[in-house]
Structure 1
Amino acid sequence: MIEFKNLVKRFGTRTVLNGLNLEIREGEIIFVLGTSGTGKSVLLKNIVGLLKPDEGEIWIDGEEVSQFTEDQYFPIRKKCGMVFQHPALFDSLTIYENVAFGLRRHFQLSEDEIKARVGKALNLVHIQGVEEKRPAQISYGMQKRVSLARTIALQPKILLFDEPTTGLDPVTTTAVNQLIQDLSKKLRTTSIVVSHDMNCALSIADRIVVLDKGQIVALGTPDELKRSTHPLVKDFLEEVLHA
């Protein structure tokens, strides 16, 4: 579904992604871990064309997109749904209108079709009966779910999560991770989760990528990562064992 070939991204004299190679299979949940500043979020932004690589290729669903114009990128972005670290809901809109926002903007749908898509998306994230409330009237964890519902209402083939459990308590973190896993399987999406939480990764990832200084230092299934001898991976695992 997605492939990076010798991907390089620089900001001035700083190289954030340094010749990165990675294939992501259709339908898999892949976690990208690493310390702050190792290029995790930059990788996501390159997928959706918010940033362009300085060298290398990005293949998405059979197309090489790294040099696409804004107009060319539009259909690629429609295949991608991005869930940000913060819910980023519109305070002045109801929950219903927040979830409907992208549908109204990007699709020619009747009001009945919009209502059906919004209802289905809210059901998938286990939210009922809050459609007429505003974001300030529901909990932060619920706002995260609404943000997820808004993304999946667009029926993307690829789901991108940027630190989706930041700022959440352990119970809500577990619930959000379970949602990511359930939605990826039910909707058959390819999911990339940028995180620093090895515990979450071990729980739900099909494969885990560990980045350091813009390069992949470990890649494998949760079981394979547990056997890694790389110092950074061992540090991440230490945190899990002593949590």
Structure 2
Amino acid sequence: MIAPGVPKDKAITVQRVTAAGAPAYLLVPEGAEGCAVVLHGYGGCKEEVLGLGLAVAAAGFTACVPDLPGHGEHLETLTGESIERFTANVKNAGFVAAVGHSLGGRMALALGIKPLCLLSVPLQARFDGRKSELLRVLRARRVREPKPFAGLEEALAALGDSRPGPPVLLLHAARDLPTCLEAAVRAKDAGWTVIAVRGIGHTDIISAPEAVAAVTAWFKGVD
């Protein structure tokens, strides 16, 4: 498999593995140095963020792309306890960089790993908005949790409210959730690199060409 930005004579090997106790994909470019974890959002799955994994691999890192608890092939229910266990497992796995979207971004913040790239993430440990909008955008129907949004609320509370200093890259969608747009303003004040991706929404950002290219460029520029 060849990822955008990777020389055509350098393939990326894709493996199915168990990482940090979760089903995952491992994307290994030739000559990789270090492994980054790529975390999907609430209502998503590892397959949805393979493009972000390829973006990381295009920058020369191995990318590990797991399912979060309650999502995809991860059999645990999403609760505060399950996200705490998973976060601890990921912390102990030796990753040298992190990428996270939505809930995965909140988890990436809690890992204390840099370089760090976040997509459509609120700086506060909550998602605000009308219930109808949250149901449509956040896709609770796809999550195994005690009741809709209950696992999300527990997970966000368990992850806390970490705000590291720069360098951090925050990408947000032009039509993002209000809480994520507010986060972008605060992130600029905190000295983070902030990029608005036009013409898309909260979920679309994970596959937007501009966002994928920005992730690769960010990791290529890391010292």
Q: Structure 2 length normalisation: TM-score?
A: 0.32
Bigger Rg, structure 1 or 2: 1
Structure number with greater CO (CA < 8 Å, separation at least 6) is 1
